[in-house]
Amino acid sequence: MSAPVTIRDLMTDSDLFGQQFGVDSWSAWRALLAAFYGLQLSKAEQGVVEALTGRHAPPEAASEELWLVMGRRGGKSQAAGLLAVYEACFNDHRDKLSPGEVATVMVLAADRKQAKVVFRYISGLLNGNPMLKRLIVREDKETIELNNRCVIEVTTASFRSVRGYTVAAVIADEIAFWRSDESANPDTEILRALRPAMATLRGKLIALSSPYSKRGALWNTYRRHFGKASPVLVAQAPTLTMNPTLPDKLVADALEDDASAAKAEYLAEFRDDLEQFITREVVEAAVRTSPLELPFNRAHRYHAFVDPAGGGQDEFCIAIGHHEDEAIVVDVVRARRGTPAEIVAGYASLLASYRIKQVTGDKYAGSWPADEFKKHGIDYHPSEQPKSGLYLDLLPALTSGRVELPPDTRLINQISGLERRTSRAGRDSIDHGPGGHDDRANVVAGLVTTKHKSRYDLERLVNGDPVQRTETSKPIAAIKAAGIPL
Ligand SMILES: Nc1ncnc2c1ncn2[C@@H]1O[C@H](COP(=O)(O)OP(=O)(O)O)[C@@H](O)[C@H]1O
Ligand SMILES: [Mg+2]
C-alpha cells in the first residue's frame, strides 16, 4: 500500500494542487495545516507555527480542532475548500460506515453568498484535477457526491442543515458572523448539535473566521486555547501574513478609514469597542410566559410604535402596549414582509381594534408612512429620538423590571443581539450586529420610551414643576388633542 497523501502532498505535488498552493505566498498556510495534521515541520515552519499559535512548540500529533482567527482576504475560504477536498478524498471512512451510510464533509458558511464562494472553490479544485474529477459521482448546487461514500455539502449555518448526518469533518467559514433569528448563539448551538454527528468518525472541526467582538464560540475558543498545548489548535494572523499578495495600501487605507473595524478585518484583532448591550437574562426576565398577544381590554389606553419598511428583506413592524402602574406592558408585536400599502391597511385595522388613532414611527422613513396611515384615518408622528437613543432609554426600563414583553423568540434574540459600540468621541451607538436584524427590538424600544416621555411631560405638568413648566408645558387640551393618554 502506498503512503497516505498528506495535506502537504496535496498542496505541493504538481499532479495535485502544487501549482496553486505550492508557491511562496501560501507558505504560512502550508506550515499551519501541516502542524494541524501533526506532520514534520522544517525549522522555518516551526518558527511560523509558534508565532501564529503563540505556543512554545508545534503540536506533536494531529490536533482534533483547528481554529483560525485571520484577516479578510487571507485565503480562509480557499483553504476551507482545500480542506474539504482533502477530508473528502483522502480520508477514507468506509470501514467505519454501516451499509448505506455516507460520510459527510460539512462546510457551513455565514450566508448564501459565502457558501457559494466556498462551493465554487471546492468544485473548481475537484473538477480541475483529472485524477480527482473521476471520483465525482454527482454534483448539484451545494452537494458533491464522491465514489468513496463521501459527500461534500456546502450550506449556510443553520439548525436545519446539521441534523441527521454522519459527519467526517465540519468546516466552519466565518463563524464569528453566523447569525440566526432563531437563536442568539447560533455558533455555539450549531456546533453543539453537530458534535454527536461527528463522534462516530472522530470528525475534525475546522473553523476559519475574521474576528469580531469578544463574544461567541470563536472568542471563547481563542481565549481558552490560544498559546496553550491543547488538542485544539488556535492560530491568529493578519491578512498580510497569510496572503502576502494583498496590496499593503488596501490595508493602510482601511485602517485610516475606520481603525476599529480594520484592525479586526485585516489585523485579526478582536474588537473591544463592541459589547453586548442588554444581556439575555435581563431580556428573558421581562418576558411573560403567555399569551403571545394580549387582547384588547377597555380598562386600558393603548399606544403604538411602527418601524416601516418599503418592501424587500426588512420587516415592517408594529408594537402595541399600555401602562399598568409603573410598568409598560407590550401587548402585541407583529412583523410583516410585503407590499407596504397592504401592511399599513392590516395594521390600521389592528390599531382600530385597540382604539388607537395615532402612531409614532421611525423618522427616517420619509413621508410615505404618514400618507399611507392617513388614508386609514391614523396620524403618524415621526419619533424625536434616533434608534440609538430609543435603545439607551430601553435599557433602564428593562433592568428595573418596568417592561413586560411578549414571548416572541425573534424579539428576544434581537434585543439580546444588540451591540453597543463606543467611539473615541464618546458617543455610543447601538445597533444590531453584522447580518442581524433589529426591527422588532426597535418598535418595542420606541413603544416603551415614547410612552415614558409623554408620561413624564404629563407628570411635570400635573405636579407643577415651575422651572420646567415654562419651557415645556402645554395646555392639557393640547396634550389630549395630540392623543397622549391622560
Ligand atoms: N496566500 C495566498 N496567496 C495567493 N493568493 C491568495 C492567498 N490567500 C488568498 N489569496 C487570494 O485572495 C482572494 C481571497 O481569498 P479568500 O480565500 O476568499 O479569502 P478570505 O476567505 O480569507 O476572505 C482569493 O482570490 C485568493 O485566491
Ligand atoms: Mg471568505
Least confident of 161-175, 200-214, 433-447, 452-466: 452-466
Does residue 78 have a pLDDT over 50? yes
Does residue 297 lie within any of the structural domains? Answer: yes
Q: Does ligand 1 lie within 6 Å of residue 25's CB atom? A: yes
- Give the pLDDT mean for 76-86: 97
Residue 32 domain-assigned?
yes
Residue 355, domain CATH: 3.30.420.240
Indicate if the pLDDT at residue 465 is higher than 90: no
Residue 181 pLDDT: 72
**Are both 263 and 287 inside the same structural domain?**
no
Any atom of ligand 1 within 6 Å of the Cβ of 347: no
Q: 223 with 300, same domain?
A: no
**pLDDT > 50? residue 471:** no
What range defines the domain where residue 216 resides? Answer: 7-272
pLDDT at residue 161 in the model: 66
Task: Give the Å distance between the CA of 344 and the centre of ligand 1.
Answer: 46
Residue that is last in its domain, among 247, 272, 297: 272
Distance CA(32)–CA(330), nearest Å, equals: 52
Instruction: Tell me which residue of 294, 319, 320 sits closest to 307, measured CA to CA.
Output: 319
Choosing from 272, 293, 327, the residue where a domain stops is 272
Average pLDDT for 238-244? 97
Q: Say if residue 70 is in the same domain as residue 218.
A: yes
Split at pLDDT 50, 70, 90, the class of 474 is very low
* Nearest-angstrom CA–CA distance, 128 and 13: 14
The protein residue whose alpha carbon is closest to atom 11 in ligand 1 is: 75
Mean pLDDT of 192-202: 90
- What residue's CA is closest to ligand 1, atom 16? 75
Tell me: do 92 and 213 sit in the same domain.
yes
Indicate whether 32 pLDDT > 90.
yes
Same domain, yes or no: 258 and 112: yes
Pairing of strands 143-146, 150-156: antiparallel
CATH of the domain at 124: 3.40.50.300
Is the same domain home to 75 and 219? yes
- Distance from residue 90's CA to the centre of ligand 1 (Å): 23
Q: Whose CA is nearest to atom 7 of ligand 1?
A: 243
* pLDDT band at 484; cut points 50, 70, 90: very low
Among 211, 239, 272, where does a domain finish?
Answer: 272
Residue among 243, 250, 266 to mutate when testing ligand 1 (max atoms within 8 A of CB): 243
Average pLDDT over residues 375-402: 93
In the prediction, which pLDDT does 463 show?
54
- How many angstroms does the Cα of residue 25 sit away from the middle of ligand 1? 10
For ligand 1, the distance from its centroid to the CA atom of residue 76, given in whole angstroms, is 7
CA torsion angle 372 378 384 385 (round to 10): -80
258 and 114 within one domain? yes
Confidence of residue 462 (pLDDT cuts 50, 70, 90): low
297-316 pLDDT, tens digit per residue, is 999 999 999 999 887 778 99
Q: What is the mean pLDDT of residues 108-117?
A: 94
In this structure, the residue with its CA closest to atom 14 of ligand 1 is 73
Ligand 2 centre distance from Cα of residue 226 (Å): 22
Q: Return mean pLDDT, the chain.
A: 90
Could you tell me if the CB of 76 is within 6 A of ligand 1?
Answer: yes
pLDDT of residue 469: 32
Calculate mean pLDDT across residues 372-386.
93
Q: Number of structural domains, the chain? A: 2
CB 203 less than 6 A from any atom of ligand 1 = no
Average pLDDT for residues 50-72, to the nearest whole number? 97
Residue 2 lies in a domain: no
Residue 486 included in any domain: no
Contacts of 171 (CB under 8 A, 6+ apart): 80, 83, 84, 87, 105, 106, 107, 108, 206, 207, 208
Distance of alpha carbon 94 from alpha carbon 330, whole angstroms: 56
Contact 210 CB / ligand 1 (< 6 Å): no
Model confidence, pTM: 0.83
Same domain, 263 and 284: no
Mean pLDDT value of segment 30-35: 98
